[in-house]
């Protein structure tokens, strides 16, 4: 180690530091950690692709995607995934019906109307709602919401889509509210003030100036919320049922793609069999759908931010 | 109005240049920050670089300790020699360069640690293992700060005033025994009393260290430095002994600047 | 604008305001209802016996000890894997990465991974960790899977903390002849630590509540012992809750509620610590 003082380093050449290899090694290690994310994505794709491939050797793609009966575990076997998709969509549509308007309205209230004190209460509440584990929501749906629904609509089955929809909407509500809040606040103040100066009411400013200006951000947040709802597993597994069926009646029992995967995993279907491989086909479908939605939503969100920042 | 840089004043007689700038141009992308500058920095003297805002003074200063390396778009042509060695050659390690050529920044930037740790850190990373406390005290004394902090070395550096923090930064730079100290407008964020302290300090430091100071304060340059370089729009307009540059400048632009007609 | 029109417009504005407010407070109400319902259903079953017993066919004898220990094992291992890797990735992206194509690719991947359903991570863990690496249905496989799941959360939080370190500190350190790693280790990481810690705690909160991936890798729902090593099979709090909630009997539902109370209490404690850390650092910065 040098103890350089002006006397004895004068004229000495400046040499490469002895730490060079250590620095390179550290940089390499950090890089490997960063590249793990790419490796994870590739692994997911590889796993789903190879496992789903073995499934599609036995079942044709058209039967899978277009068939209307899903009974892989019963004889006679059918592998049409539409009932699961239908179940998922029913849940998601129901959740969206509640969470999207409520989330947007909450964001509007927090951004345009609520004083700081209220914001500081509501925002943490939303964060808590977002942090509650999904099993808890499943339990809540099963033991509170379903009995409530049954007292109002006696024809409601014990496992039903509506109950699960309601809790899923509570789960994605904070996400919608938070993202919409960000988008609404990105709209510059002068735009709002200009509208107020023309004598517009707060309702008019919000609905005709602010929301339209932040529309792509709002829509992106909706898409992300829907994607999250599609991927939701435990609440629907507990509350929505295990009956794949094509129905639009939310009071009936259905099964979502995610809940089906859980059902098979908990059962004793032998690994490697076609019935077991169905979970990979369904998971692949799930992955593709959510990935597409997320990519689109992020793209829209990025473009939106570019406009306003 | 055309003016040619004083390249004949690049080589100083009677003095030993410790840093030699030879026809250096630095660009950020396509935009040149300094163009075809040549000058010499004399050993154990104070050289000031003056000029209006945006003339490239800081860029030139940062070139000496390769701090421009951190700006990805920056590229340099020409040579800078430090005691005969090329600073920008392939074999030269910028980390080593920075140990030998230290820097004090415009806004005091002590580490969020204790006063002692601030000065000691440079020692620890450069391999000094013994005598840390003595070296810290020596540096603090040389920075004219010891008296004020001797009894509270382990207090946080943020408890010091602005002027004290800047002297701490100077002590921190001195601790690793550089040969050159670069100062980028070191007093611009300080009050006049602190500024006077630091200017006095520079006279003392000059006996051991070479100092290059960038300043937009002409009076300061006139008070403190032995040599002055005047830059405008990235070009070196005039370079020579401070006395001469300020009282009998060779170029009109120099005269206009030092008499305050612009900038 | 006629006076009648103005009145109508203001009325609409008021109604809208009220609507938005009602809807917002409804969310708060929902939280209250949920917490009350869970507490009411479960508090009677919450006692020492509950915490120290193992699951049983008989509700009176059932407890969550195995689930608690399983969760503890899981969290400890998950932290050990995900935090170093996540912080390392964040440091790379912020300090070394730059704006090149590779960095953009990594960033896009992290953003996408954050949106992948947790059950897909479970499948990844099943195929890669349980089968391919042969770890079986162990705590190790579970924690590796969980680590991948929360890695994006840790990376994003760590990046923000690292980015928040003022550049002037780095410049000062470099000017003293420090290498990049020396600057990171001595200045960037210590300053970013509180933010990183907060992010880690929030990521852990998420991990504790995740069920689907653990089901996929085979965490059992009836485990009557405590794990002794990383290769042991295990169960976890959310799995136990799920198991009890799936049973038809009322008592098991109440047990589930009791388990939920324990789970939520743990989460509350963790978040309180995170808030405390954030508060203390903000106070220190003033």
- Give residue-wise pLDDT tens across range B147-181: 999 999 999 999 999 999 999 999 999 999 999 99
Cβ-based contacts of B205 with chain A (< 8 Å): none
pLDDT per residue of chain C (286 residues) written in tens, 0 to 9: 566 788 888 888 889 999 999 999 999 999 999 999 999 988 888 888 888 888 888 877 788 888 899 999 999 999 999 999 999 999 999 999 877 888 889 999 999 999 999 999 999 999 999 999 999 889 999 999 999 999 999 999 999 999 999 999 999 999 999 999 999 999 999 999 999 999 999 899 999 999 999 999 888 767 778 888 888 888 899 999 999 999 889 889 999 999 999 999 999 999 888 888 888 877 766 5
Q: How confident is the model at residue A15 (pLDDT cuts 50, 70, 90)?
A: low
* Lookup: tokens for A268: 């004793």
Asked if B112's CB is within 8 angstroms of C177's CB, the reply is no
Number of domains making up chain C: 2
Which pLDDT score, from 0 to 100, does residue B13 have? 55
Which pLDDT score, from 0 to 100, does residue A1 have? 34
pTM of the model: 0.89
Rounded Cα gap, residues B210 and B205, in angstroms: 8
Q: Touching A: which chains, 3+ CB pairs < 8 A?
A: B, C
Angle at C136 (CA atoms; ends C131, C140), nearest 5 degrees: 110
Average pLDDT in the A164-193 region?
92
- Does A147 share its domain with A274? yes
- Does C124 share its domain with C161? yes
Which pLDDT score, from 0 to 100, does residue C52 have? 82
Asked if C171's CB is within 8 angstroms of B67's CB, the reply is yes
* Surface of C (120-179) touching B: CB under 8 A: 166, 168-169, 171-179
Separation in Å, CA of B104 to nearest CA in chain C: 8
- Taking CA–CA distances from B97, the nearest residue in chain A reads A14
Rounded Cα gap, residues C41 and A191, in angstroms: 51
Which pLDDT score, from 0 to 100, does residue B129 have? 85
Number of domains making up chain B: 1
Which pLDDT score, from 0 to 100, does residue A5 have? 38
Q: Touching B: which chains, 3+ CB pairs < 8 A?
A: A, C
Asked if B112's CB is within 8 angstroms of C191's CB, the reply is yes
Cα Rg, chain C, nearest whole Å = 24
DSSP state of C61: G
Structural domain span for residue B224: 7-110+179-258
- Does A202 share its domain with A267? yes
Rounded Cα gap, residues A263 and A215, in angstroms: 39
Which pLDDT score, from 0 to 100, does residue A2 have? 39
Which pLDDT score, from 0 to 100, does residue C285 have? 61
Rounded Cα gap, residues B119 and B177, in angstroms: 12
- Does C12 share its domain with C78? no
Which pLDDT score, from 0 to 100, does residue C278 have? 81
* Percent of chain B topping pLDDT 90: 73
- B115-121, long-range: CB within 8 Å, 24+ apart, which pairs? B115/B149, B115/B152, B115/B153, B115/B154, B115/B155, B115/B156, B115/B157, B115/B160, B115/B168, B116/B153, B116/B154, B118/B157, B118/B168, B118/B171, B118/B172, B119/B168, B119/B171, B119/B172, B119/B175, B120/B175, B121/B172, B121/C173, B121/C176, B121/C186
Separation in Å, CA of B100 to nearest CA in chain A: 9
Tell me which residue in A37, A136, A204 faces C260 most closely, judged by beta carbons: A136
pLDDT tops 80 at residue A244: yes
Q: Strand B31-42 vs strand B235-241: parallel, antiparallel, or unpaired? A: unpaired
- Does C67 share its domain with C131? yes
Q: Which has the closest alpha carbon to B208: B242, B174, B240, B239?
A: B174
Q: Which residues does B245 contact at the CB level (< 8 Å), separation at least 6?
A: B228, B230, B238, B239, B254, B258
- Give residue-wise pLDDT tens across range A81-132: 999 999 999 999 999 999 999 999 999 999 888 888 988 889 889 989 999 9
Number of domains making up chain A: 2
- Does A52 share its domain with A200? no
Rounded Cα gap, residues A84 and A247, in angstroms: 10
Structural domain span for residue A249: 70-308
Tell me which residue in C169, C178, C191 faces B125 most closely, judged by beta carbons: C178
Rounded Cα gap, residues B244 and B236, in angstroms: 16
- Does A189 share its domain with A45? no
Angstrom distances, CA of residue B195 to CA of B84, B185, B224, B233, B256 = 34, 11, 12, 27, 26
Give the three-class secondary structure for C216: helix
- Does A302 share its domain with A218? yes
Angle at B239 (CA atoms; ends B237, B242), nearest 5 degrees: 125
- Does C136 share its domain with C224? yes
Cβ-based contacts of A134 with chain C (< 8 Å): 209, 211-212
Which pLDDT score, from 0 to 100, does residue C61 have? 79
Q: Across chain A, what does the average pLDDT equal?
A: 88
- Does C61 share its domain with C34? no
- Does A53 share its domain with A75? no
Separation in Å, CA of C82 to nearest CA in chain A: 10
* Lookup: tokens for B252: 């009109």
- Does C29 share its domain with C133? no
Separation in Å, CA of A67 to nearest CA in chain C: 24
Asked if B105's CB is within 8 angstroms of C168's CB, the reply is yes
Strand partners, A71: A78
- Does C207 share its domain with C138? yes
Q: Across chain B, what does the average pLDDT equal?
A: 89
* Lookup: tokens for C159: 């990046």
* Lookup: tokens for B31: 């935009």
Angle at C69 (CA atoms; ends C65, C75), nearest 5 degrees: 145
3-state secondary structure A102-153: HHHHHHHHHHHHCCHHHHHHHHHHHHHHHHCCHHHHHHHHHHHHHHHHHHHC
Tell me which residue in A2, A11, A17 faces B84 most closely, judged by beta carbons: A11
Q: Strand A78-79 vs strand A70-71: parallel, antiparallel, or unpaired? A: antiparallel
Q: Which residues does B121 contact at the CB level (< 8 Å), separation at least 6?
A: B111, B113, B172, C173, C176, C186
- Does A32 share its domain with A162? no
- Does A86 share its domain with A231? yes
Which pLDDT score, from 0 to 100, does residue A4 have? 40
Asked if C169's CB is within 8 angstroms of B111's CB, the reply is yes
A289 touches A208 (CB < 8 A):
no
Looking at residue C249, which CATH number applies to its domain?
1.10.3720.10
Which pLDDT score, from 0 to 100, does residue C62 have? 82
- Give residue-wise pLDDT tens across range B89-133: 888 889 999 999 999 999 999 999 999 999 999 999 988 888 999
The answer as to whether A81 is a domain residue is yes
Q: How many CB atoms lie within 10 A of CB C283?
A: 8
Burial zone of C143 (CB within 10 Å; 0-12 exposed, 13-18 middle, 19+ buried): buried
- Does A93 share its domain with A180? yes
The answer as to whether B185 is a domain residue is yes
The answer as to whether B124 is a domain residue is no
- Does C30 share its domain with C117? no
Cα Rg, chain B, nearest whole Å = 18
The answer as to whether A26 is a domain residue is yes
Whether B44 contacts chain A with CB within 8 A: no
* Lookup: tokens for A108: 């509007």
* Lookup: tokens for A249: 């009646």
Structural domain span for residue C163: 51-285
DSSP state of B134: H
DSSP state of B22: E
Tell me which residue in A3, A5, A17 faces B95 most closely, judged by beta carbons: A17
Q: Which residues does C69 contact at the CB level (< 8 Å), separation at least 6?
A: C226, C227
Q: How confident is the model at residue A7 (pLDDT cuts 50, 70, 90)?
A: very low
Looking at residue B86, which CATH number applies to its domain?
3.40.50.300
- Does C34 share its domain with C127? no
Average pLDDT in the B183-211 region?
92
Q: How many CB atoms lie within 10 A of CB A58?
A: 10
- Taking CA–CA distances from C186, the nearest residue in chain B reads B121
A280 touches A48 (CB < 8 A):
yes
- Give residue-wise pLDDT tens across range B133-146: 999 999 999 998 99
Which pLDDT score, from 0 to 100, does residue A10 have? 39
Which pLDDT score, from 0 to 100, does residue B242 have? 93
Phi, psi angles (nearest 5°) of residue B236: -80, 115
Angstrom distances, CA of residue A205 to CA of A179, A194, B72, C1, C25 = 20, 9, 45, 16, 23
- Does A76 share its domain with A178? yes
- Does C40 share its domain with C56? no
- Taking CA–CA distances from A1, the nearest residue in chain B reads B127
- Does C220 share its domain with C158? yes
* Percent of chain C topping pLDDT 90: 60
* Percent of chain A topping pLDDT 90: 55
Tell me which residue in C127, C155, C180 faces A47 most closely, judged by beta carbons: C127
- Does C29 share its domain with C91? no
Which pLDDT score, from 0 to 100, does residue B9 have? 46
Which pLDDT score, from 0 to 100, does residue A202 have? 87
């Amino acid at each position: 180690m040098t103890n350089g003082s002006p006397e004895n380093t004068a004229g000495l050449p400046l040499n490469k530091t002895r730490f060079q290899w250590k620095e390179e090694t550290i940089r390499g290690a950090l890089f490997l950690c960063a590249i793990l994310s790419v490796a994870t994505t590739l692994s997911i794709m590889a796993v789903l692709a190879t496992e789903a491939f073995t499934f599609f050797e036995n079942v044709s793609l058209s039967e899978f995607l277009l068939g209307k009966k899903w009974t892989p575990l019963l004889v006679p076997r059918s592998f049409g995934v539409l009932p699961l998709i239908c179940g998922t969509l029913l849940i998601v549509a129901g959740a969206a019906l509640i969470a999207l308007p409520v989330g947007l309205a909450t964001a509007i209230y927090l951004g345009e109307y609520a004083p700081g004190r209220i914001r500081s209460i509501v925002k943490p509440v939303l964060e808590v709602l977002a942090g509650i584990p999904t099993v808890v929501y499943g339990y809540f749906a099963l033991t509170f919401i379903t009995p409530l629904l049954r007292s109002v609509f006696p024809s409601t089955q014990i496992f039903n889509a509506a109950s699960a929809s309601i809790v899923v909407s509570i789960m994605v509500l904070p996400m919608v509210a938070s993202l919409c809040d960000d988008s609404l606040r990105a709209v510059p103040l002068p735009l709002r003030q200009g509208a107020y100066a023309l004598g517009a009411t707060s309702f008019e400013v919000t609905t005709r100036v602010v929301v339209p200006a932040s529309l792509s951000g709002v829509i992106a947040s909706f898409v992300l919320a829907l994607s999250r709802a599609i991927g939701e597993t435990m609440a629907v597994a507990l509350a929505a049922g295990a009956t794949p069926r094509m129905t639009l009646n939310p009071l009936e029992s259905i099964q979502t793609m995610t809940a089906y995967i859980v059902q098979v995993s908990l059962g004793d279907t032998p690994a490697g069999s076609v019935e077991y491989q169905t979970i990979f086909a369904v998971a692949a479908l799930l992955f593709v759908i959510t990935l597409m939605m997320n990519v689109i939503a992020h793209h829209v969100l990025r473009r939106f931010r570019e406009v306003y920042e | 109005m055309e003016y040619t840089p004083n390249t004949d004043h690049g080589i100083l007689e009677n003095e030993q240049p410790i840093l030699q700038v030879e026809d250096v141009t630095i660009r950020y992308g396509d935009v040149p920050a300094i163009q075809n500058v040549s000058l010499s920095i004399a050993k154990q003297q104070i050289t000031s670089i003056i000029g209006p805002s945006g003339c490239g003074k800081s860029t030139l200063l940062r070139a000496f300790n390769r701090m421009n390396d951190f700006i990805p778009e920056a590229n340099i042509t020409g040579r800078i020699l430090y005691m005969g060695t090329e600073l920008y050659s392939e074999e030269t390690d910028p980390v080593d360069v920075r140990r030998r050529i230290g820097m004090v920044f415009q806004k005091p930037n002590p580490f969020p640690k204790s006063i002692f740790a601030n000065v000691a850190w440079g020692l620890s990373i450069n391999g000094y293992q013994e005598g840390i406390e003595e070296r810290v005290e020596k540096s603090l004394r040389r920075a004219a700060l010891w008296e004020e902090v001797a009894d509270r070395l382990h207090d946080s550096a943020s408890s010091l005033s602005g002027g004290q923090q800047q002297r701490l930064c100077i002590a921190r730079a001195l601790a690793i025994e550089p040969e050159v100290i670069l100062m980028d407008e070191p007093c611009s964020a300080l009050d006049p009393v602190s500024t006077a302290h630091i200017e006095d300090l520079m006279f003392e430091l000059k006996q051991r260290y070479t100092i290059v100071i960038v300043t937009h304060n002409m009076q300061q340059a006139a008070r403190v430095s032995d040599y002055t370089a005047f830059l405008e729009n990235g070009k070196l307009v005039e370079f020579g002994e401070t006395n001469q540059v300020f009282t009998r400048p060779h170029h009109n632009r120099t005269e206009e600047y030092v008499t305050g007609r612009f900038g | 604008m006629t006076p009648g029109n103005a009145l109508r417009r203001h009325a609409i504005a008021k109604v809208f305001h009220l609507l938005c407010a009602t809807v917002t407070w409804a969310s708060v109400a929902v939280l209250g209802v949920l917490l009350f319902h869970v507490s009411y259903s479960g508090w009677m079953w919450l006692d020492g016996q509950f915490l120290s017993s193992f699951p049983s066919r008989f509700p009176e004898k059932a407890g969550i000890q195995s689930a608690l220990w399983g969760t503890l094992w899981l969290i400890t291992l998950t932290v050990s894997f995900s935090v170093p890797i996540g912080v390392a990735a964040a440091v790379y992206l912020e300090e070394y990465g730059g704006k090149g194509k590779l960095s953009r690719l990594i960033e896009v991947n992290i953003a996408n991974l954050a949106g992948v359903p947790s059950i897909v991570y479970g499948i990844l863990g099943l195929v890669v960790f349980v089968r391919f690496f042969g770890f079986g249905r162990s705590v190790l496989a579970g924690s590796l899977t969980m680590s991948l799941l929360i890695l994006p959360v840790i990376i994003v939080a760590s990046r923000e903390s690292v980015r928040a370190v003022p550049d002037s500190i780095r410049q000062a350190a470099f000017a003293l002849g420090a290498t990049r790693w020396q600057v990171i280790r001595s200045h960037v990481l210590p300053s970013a630590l509180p933010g990183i810690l907060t992010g880690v705690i929030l990521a852990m909160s998420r991990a504790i509540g995740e069920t689907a991936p653990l089901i996929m890798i085979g965490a059992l729902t009836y485990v009557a012992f405590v794990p002794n090593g990383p290769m042991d099979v295990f169960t976890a709090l959310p799995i136990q809750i799920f198991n009890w909630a799936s049973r038809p009997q009322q008592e098991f539902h109440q047990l589930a509620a009791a388990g939920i109370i324990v789970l939520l209490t743990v989460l509350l404690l963790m978040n309180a610590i995170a808030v405390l850390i954030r508060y203390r650092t903000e106070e220190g910065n003033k």
